[in-house]
Chain A
Amino acid sequence: MSIESLSLSGRKKEVSNKKMTFMESLYLVAIAKGLWITLGHLFTRKVTIKYPEQTRSLSPVYRGQHMLMRDDEGRERCTACGLCALSCPAEAITMKAEERKPDEKHLYREEKYASIYEINMLRCIFCGLCEEACPKQAIYLTKSRVMVKSASNREDFIYGKEKLVMPLEMAINNTKPQMAK
């Protein structure tokens, strides 16, 4: 089989520069065909999703708003090692570490925690490298199941811990099946 006759898609068409006849050059038949095709589309089912009311289902590998995870006992997993900030290609993450007080053992899993953890959502490119870098499995882009909302202020896009940490109700729900055991 020569390369000229090879067709991978099975729809190969030979392009020719042959001179059109007078009838062809009036394009009448071609236009009628085209009109017929578009007329068919007039009656096909519409694919629009009316966004605020309807939303598309998220794929399992979507990457949306970050979430700082809690463990089974509801403690924050993050230990403020800074690997996520280091791995971030857009330099969107900043944090400030602090030592855990003895009476805060029920709040933070590790001895060191992030007192401030901020992600600039305007810089973030949602690549997911922070998720890969995290040794404590503390940050995920697939758990919040929301996209970053639009806002009219630049400051509003700097998300702090109050927006990023997993809500308590969600953590309680996560622990429920274990309590049933």
Chain B
Amino acid sequence: MDTAIIIEKGIFIVVIFAITMLFAMYETLAERKIAAWFQDRIGPDRAGKGGILQPLADGLKLFSKEEFFPNTPNRFLFIAGPAISMSTALITSAVIPWGDTLHIFGRDVVLQATDIDIAMLYIFGVLSVGVYGIMIGGWASNNKFSLMGAMRASSQMISYEVAMGLAIIALVMMTGSLSLRDIAAGQHGMSWNVFYQPVGFLIFLVCSFAETNRTPFDLAECEAELIGGYHTEYSSMKMGFYLFAEYASMFISSTILAVLYFGAYNFPGMDWVTENWGANATTWIGVLVLFGKICFFIFFYMWVRWTIPRFRYDQLMKLGWKMLIPLAIANIVITALAILWSDGKLF
């Protein structure tokens, strides 16, 4: 195999890993700041200028805390829980197209770790495996509240994966590909999928809230009922890993939302930029645009968190099975009819 490709991909993966970590770190600060602003407060502002060093302080605190083990039936699984959560949150980024092709050092560098034609399915696979982190951790805690949190998390994630998959099917029918690169390239300029699939987008949005265990669907760590849910017994950096994994998966799911429905790295007027400033400029601006969209979705996650109260468990299940799945199926049928009609095969 070409050594240069390995080096190129290696560097790219490390960079993406670093960016994901950085985002996850500063999401913790952003969450606290945004929560404060929504509640007419200022938020943490003591560590560094405007609280810019707060994540470091938090990390240091978590690192120096006592490593506590409950009377667990299996120490290995107790450690494996947060590790699985963290790794599944990180490996999703492998198939995401972070930008178009870049021409540097006489090479065409594709800003994507790997372009497999089943990228969408890969994401679903990783998502479904992600449940194990919570489930195993919750079970190994040897605590009824943890187990209950794990149960809720897993049943909720399984339920919402169905609606999520159905929402994606309509999108895949439109684009005709499961590869994220093709889906991204198909939204050139301003023809973003959200304009053609508004219902699908809404369903996908709601489901990604449920998949990332964020409010209003954070029943797995519902404080009022379950103390801390699946991470009740966790302390120190293992706890930090769970929280970090949550923020990392929030970043990744924001990215997926941006790539699938909000045009990925495409922005209006990109042809003009290519003509006047060159293809590289388009790529760089495209990457910035993508990160702008990601930041918006992260903000949206937090915005919703501080607006909507937590759903009750039966409401959650009702919404998933009785509202979203029928809506998604109707969306598929309508999309199919629309595609046939636009091809002139209907009537």
Contact = CB atoms under 8 A, between A and B. Distances in A.
A and B, direct touch (CB closer than 8 Å): yes
Given A25-B323, A26-B323, A42 B38 contact: yes
Nearest to A38: B307
A15 interface: no
Interface in A9-48: 22, 25-26, 28, 31, 34-35, 37-39, 41-42, 44-48
B308 A41 contact: no
A31 B38 contact: no
Given A25-B323, A26-B323, A38 B40 contact: no
B42 A34 contact: no
B308 A31 contact: yes
B64 to A, nearest CB: 20
Given A31-B308, A35-B307, A42 B42 contact: no
Contact of B306 (A28, A38, A44): A38
Given A25-B323, A46-B42, A48-B42, A31 B307 contact: yes
Contacts of B202: 28
B150 to A, nearest CB: 27
Contacts of A31: 304, 307-308
A96 B323 CA distance: 76
Contacts of B308: 31, 34
A31 B304 CA distance: 9
Interface in B275-334: 303-304, 306-308, 323
Interface residues of A, number: 18
Contacts of B307: 31, 34-35, 37-38
Nearest to B306: A38
A75 B36 CA distance: 51
B205 to A, nearest CB: 11
A40 to B, nearest CB: 10
B41 interface: yes
B37 A42 contact: yes
B39 interface: yes
A77 to B, nearest CB: 43
B107 to A, nearest CB: 44
A28 B202 CA distance: 10
Nearest to B42: A48
A48 B38 contact: no
Given A25-B323, A26-B323, A34-B308, A48 B303 contact: no
B200 to A, nearest CB: 14
Nearest to A43: B37
A26 B322 CA distance: 10
A35 B299 CA distance: 12
Contact of A47 (B34, B38, B40, B306): B40
Given A25-B323, A31-B308, A34-B308, A39 B40 contact: no
Interface of B: 34, 36-42, 202, 303-304, 306-308, 323
7 contacts: A22-B323, A26-B323, A41-B38, A41-B39, A42-B38, A46-B37, A48-B42
The 10 closest A-B pairs by CB, nearest first: A48-B42, A38-B307, A34-B307, A48-B41, A42-B37, A38-B38, A47-B40, A46-B42, A41-B38, A35-B307
